[in-house]
Amino acid sequence: GNSVTQMEGPVTLSEEAFLTINCTYTATGYPSLFWYVQYPGEGLQLLLKATKADDKGSNKGFEATYRKETTSFHLEKGSVQVSDSAVYFCALSPSSASKIIFGSGTRLSIRP
C-alpha cells in the first residue's frame, strides 16, 4: 500500500541553523510528493511539491528532491528563522488517485 514515514519531532533548532526533516515513502507507480506546513493557528498549506523523479521542489528557502532510488523526499533549509516554527507534513498522492496520504507530522521550533 501507500504510506509516508517522517522524522518524529519535536525538532528544536537555533535561528540560522541548517534544517533537515527526513521523509521516506512507500508507493506503487509514480506518486507526486508534497510538503505541507501548518503554522500556529492557521490551516494546512502546501509548501512545495515534486511530481517526478529527480524533480526539486522549492519555496520560501525550503527545498526537497524526489529520490526514487531511495524513496525519499527530505526537506531542507539552509538557515531557519523563528517564523519557520510550525508543523511540517510530508505527503504523497498516488499516481492513479487524487487523495493525499500524509505522514504524522514533525513539529519544528526555532529559538531566537
Partner 1 sequence: GAGVSQTPSNKVTEKGKYVELRCDPISGHTALYWYRQSLGQGPEFLIYFQGTGAADDSGLPNDRFFAVRPEGSVSTLKIQRTERGDSAVYLCASSLDWGNEQFFGPGTRLTVL
Chain contacts with partner 1 (rule: CB under 8 A): 4, 42-46, 49, 89, 91, 93, 97-105
* Residue 85: CB minimum distance to partner 1, A: 17
Task: Considering the complex, state which of residue 49 and residue 77 has its C-beta at the smaller distance from partner 1.
Answer: 49
Cell numbers for 14: 537555533
* Residue 107: CB minimum distance to partner 1, A: 9
* Residue 49: CB minimum distance to partner 1, A: 8
CA distance 34 to 47: 8
Contact present, 64 and 74 (Cβ < 8 Å): yes
Task: Considering the complex, state which of residue 14 and residue 45 has its C-beta at the smaller distance from partner 1.
Answer: 45
82: which residues sit within 8 A by CB, 6+ positions away?
A: 15, 110, 111, 112
Residue identified by cell 528544536 is 12
Task: Considering the complex, state which of residue 13 and residue 44 has its C-beta at the smaller distance from partner 1.
Answer: 44
SS3 content of the chain, % helix, strand, coil (to 5): 5, 50, 45
Residue identified by cell 537555533 is 14
* Residue 1: CB minimum distance to partner 1, A: 11
Task: Considering the complex, state which of residue 43 and residue 112 has its C-beta at the smaller distance from partner 1.
Answer: 43
